[in-house]
């Protein structure tokens, strides 16, 4: 069968789609090119905001209109949270939950061998289990280009922040043993990957299901042989310890690049959100990173417009963020999510127009910080890893501290490190 994956949302979703796609290719199926009509479309959805849900539905509608005869399988977070709603969308044939998505290769083979195809299993169209009861971990190692490889080291979350549905969409925190991850990483390096990105839902919580610790995983990856670097994806500030920061600072392989969720710069709002740190702790983490790695890139997740974010709290939040020595803000606008505790609280509701205004302001602050970060490094030496994508007569790559650079396209430079002057 010719299959097309459409993936929305986080890097973890993209990694999982890539791994499933490779499994299907190994079974003799083909990826449908953009010019080809697919026999089957797999939509891996996101549900982090109401806007994400809307984009999921829009994507499904567009696929059905463009390919009316294609079988459509919907999976991911939105499928886990709203399976019946999705099953009513015209064109959707199967809805698979987070754990059930790994049955897609078997389902595809069943469909291919069935004369009746989609009609053959209508009674079992919705396959969504109780994700909070799932103990098993599905490891993923994926990379759609030779340069970068995502390795899933953790899944699920036990935090239950008042605004968030992820624990209900992804299940409880769980992970494989370090030795399994090391095997995957070594295999990726031997196959030519130069950059490993360790990812998950709450990776700092690594070890909850195996009795190990995140710092032990980092040390094990540092000990691997080869010419490569490692990036750590988003890590909660209360779990990003000084020990981890100091380890990265002296590492040969780990990139001076951190992504830390702040969500709010108001302590009062952080309490409402059910976050497990104060803004003072967050500022200490940033200050320590900059003390031992002045050149480090620090990306920060920020949410605006949550319930209880009064004008006074917002202005305090904005003032705090402006003072932070960080490189970029990843801004989310709050939207009400069903079955979250925040909806049960008697709190001030920020008008939607005001939410958008606050979002725009933080986006502008982010641009200023990123521009300033790039200027700080102008004229300095840096090592870039060139990537395969061609942009006209140019090629692009990233330095270890996540500065994107361009140079004349030279095929022989793809997937190689080069020292340059910024």
Look at residue 389 in the predicted model and tell me its pLDDT.
87
How many angstroms separate the CA atoms of 362 and 354, rounded? 13
Look at residue 121 in the predicted model and tell me its pLDDT.
45
Look at residue 118 in the predicted model and tell me its pLDDT.
54
Residue 214: other Cβ atoms inside 10 A: 24
Mean pLDDT per block of 10 residues along the chain (422 residues) reads 94 91 93 93 94 95 96 97 95 96 93 62 79 93 78 96 96 97 95 95 95 97 96 97 98 98 98 98 98 98 98 98 98 94 97 98 98 96 94 95 96 96 94
How many angstroms separate the CA atoms of 24 and 105, rounded? 6
Look at residue 114 in the predicted model and tell me its pLDDT.
66
Look at residue 372 in the predicted model and tell me its pLDDT.
98
Residue 377: other Cβ atoms inside 10 A: 15
Look at residue 144 in the predicted model and tell me its pLDDT.
60
- Give the strand pairing for 40-45 and 195-199: unpaired
Look at residue 145 in the predicted model and tell me its pLDDT.
64
């Amino acid at each position: 069968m010719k299959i097309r994956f459409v993936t929305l949302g986080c890097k973890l979703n993209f990694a999982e789609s890539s791994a499933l796609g490779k499994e299907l290719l190994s079974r003799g199926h083909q990826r449908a090119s953009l010019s080809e009509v697919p026999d089957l479309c797999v939509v891996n959805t996101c549900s982090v905001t109401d806007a994400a849900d809307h984009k999921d539905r829009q994507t499904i509608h567009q696929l059905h209109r463009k390919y009316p005869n294609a079988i459509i399988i919907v999976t991911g977070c939105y499928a886990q949270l709203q399976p019946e709603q999705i099953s009513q969308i015209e064109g959707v044939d199967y809805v698979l939950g987070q754990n059930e998505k790994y049955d897609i290769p078997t389902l595809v083979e069943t469909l291919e061998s069935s004369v009746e195809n989609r009609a053959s299993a209508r009674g079992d169209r919705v396959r969504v289990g109780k994700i909070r009861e799932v103990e098993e971990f599905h490891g993923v190692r994926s990379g759609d280009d030779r340069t970068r490889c995502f390795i899933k080291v953790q899944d699920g979350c036990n935090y239950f922040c008042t605004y968030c549905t992820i624990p209900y969409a992804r299940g409880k925190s769980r992970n494989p043993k370090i030795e399994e991850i090391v095997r995957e990483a070594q295999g990726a390096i031997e196959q030519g990957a130069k950059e490993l990105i360790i990812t998950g839902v709450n990776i700092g919580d690594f070890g909850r299901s195996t009795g190990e610790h995140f710092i032990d995983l980092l040390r094990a990856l540092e000990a691997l042989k080869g010419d490569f670097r490692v990036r750590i994806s988003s890590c909660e500030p209360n779990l990003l310890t000084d020990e981890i920061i100091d380890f990265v600072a002296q590492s040969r392989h780990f990139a001076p690049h951190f992504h830390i969720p702040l969500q709010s710069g108001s302590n009062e709002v952080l309490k409402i959100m059910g976050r497990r740190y104060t803004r003072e702790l967050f500022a200490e983490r940033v200050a320590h990173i900059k003390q031992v790695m002045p050149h480090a890139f620090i990306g920060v997740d920020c949410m605006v417009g949550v319930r209880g974010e009064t004008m006074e709290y917002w202005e305090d939040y904005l003032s705090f963020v402006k003072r932070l020595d960080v490189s970029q803000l990843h801004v989310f606008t709050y939207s009400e999510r069903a079955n979250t505790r925040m909806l049960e609280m008697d709190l001030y509701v920020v008008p939607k127009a005001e939410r958008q205004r606050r979002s725009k302001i933080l986006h502008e602050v982010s641009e200023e910080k990123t521009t300033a970060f790039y200027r700080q490094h102008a004229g300095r030496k840096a090592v870039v890893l060139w990537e395969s994508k061609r942009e006209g007569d140019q090629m692009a790559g990233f330095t270890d501290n996540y500065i994107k650079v361009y140079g004349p396209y030279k095929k022989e430079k793809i997937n190689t490190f080069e020292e340059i002057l910024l």
